[in-house]
Amino acid sequence: KISIIWGLNLYGQAGSDVVHKAMKQRHDRKVPVPVDPAKLSRGNKRKALKYLMFLKKKCDGTIKVRGCADGRKKGLNTSQQEISSPTVSIKSLMLSYVINAKERR
């Protein structure tokens, strides 16, 4: 998995074609559209998430493009309690296993 700039340098026209196809799909499916940075306030610019694209050569030789939002900034605007997932305690898990075994579930 490599960044789009390295991928375009490495794979040349084939990489460019795959990226163009992926961007065309995004446009045709009317996914969120980019916003002109000049129209955003300073605060909104800081909160905006970047879109990352990566190229990967598959085992069969075809080139695959992956895109995702860079969510690292999102964690800065939310509290630790909102980010973290609740974790089950070992004691509760073991108790649940014992009850399930006793009830033959």
Burial class (CB in 10 A: 0-12, 13-18, 19+), 48: middle
Q: Give yes or no for residue 95 having a pLDDT over 90.
A: yes
pLDDT score of 66: 86
Q: Give yes or no for residue 73 having a pLDDT over 70.
A: no
> How far apart are the C-alpha atoms of 67 and 84, rounded to whole Å?
24
pLDDT score of 26: 83
Residues 60-69 as b/e (b if ≥16 CB within 10 A, e otherwise) read: eeebebeeee
The residue with greater pLDDT, 29 or 95, is 95
Q: Give yes or no for residue 77 having a pLDDT over 70.
A: no
The residue with greater pLDDT, 96 or 78, is 96
* Ranges of each domain in the chain: 2-76
In terms of Cα–Cα distance, which of 66, 56, 51, 68 is closest to 14? 56
pTM for this entry = 0.54
